[in-house]
């Protein structure tokens, strides 16, 4: 149910952002886009219908792992 509520909120904010863009209300649009971005980051990636990791999830995990490795090298003493 929580995912449905978040998705509904995303839809509402997206429609609001479109209206604000059409009206030229840039300050309100920026605030709405920031709220949309924050909400989108709270979404968790769900496995596909077979319970497997989706291609997008795999790519995101791979990028996170690469970033962690790079950070560990950056933090190594020379």
10 and 29, same domain (yes or no): yes
Average pLDDT for 31-60: 73
| Range(s) of the domain holding residue 4 | 1-44
Domains: count for the chain: 2
Nearest residue to 4 (alpha-carbon basis) of 35, 33, 37, 46: 46
Residues 37, 74 within the same domain: no
Q: Are 3 and 37 part of one and the same domain?
A: yes
The pTM is what? 0.48
Reported as a single tens digit per residue, the pLDDT across 6-33 is 788 888 888 898 888 888 888 888 888 8
Same domain as 38, residue 1: yes
Question: Given pLDDT bands bounded at 50, 70 and 90, which one contains residue 36?
Answer: confident
Residues 35 and 11 in one domain: yes
Helix (H) or strand (E) holding 45: none
Mark whether 9 and 39 lie in a shared domain. Answer: yes
Angle of helix 2-23 relative to helix 26-42, nearest 10 degrees?
A: 160
1 — pLDDT class (breaks 50, 70, 90): low
52 and 40 within one domain: no
Same domain, 30 and 59: no
């Amino acid at each position: 149910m929580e995912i449905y509520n978040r998705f509904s909120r995303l839809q509402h904010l997206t429609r609001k952002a479109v209206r604000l863009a059409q009206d030229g209300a840039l300050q309100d649009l920026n605030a709405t886009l920031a709220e949309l971005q924050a909400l989108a980051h709270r979404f968790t990636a769900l496995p596909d219908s077979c319970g497997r990791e989706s291609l997008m999830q795999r790519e995101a995990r791979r990028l996170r792992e690469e970033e962690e490795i790079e950070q560990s090298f950056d933090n190594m003493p020379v």
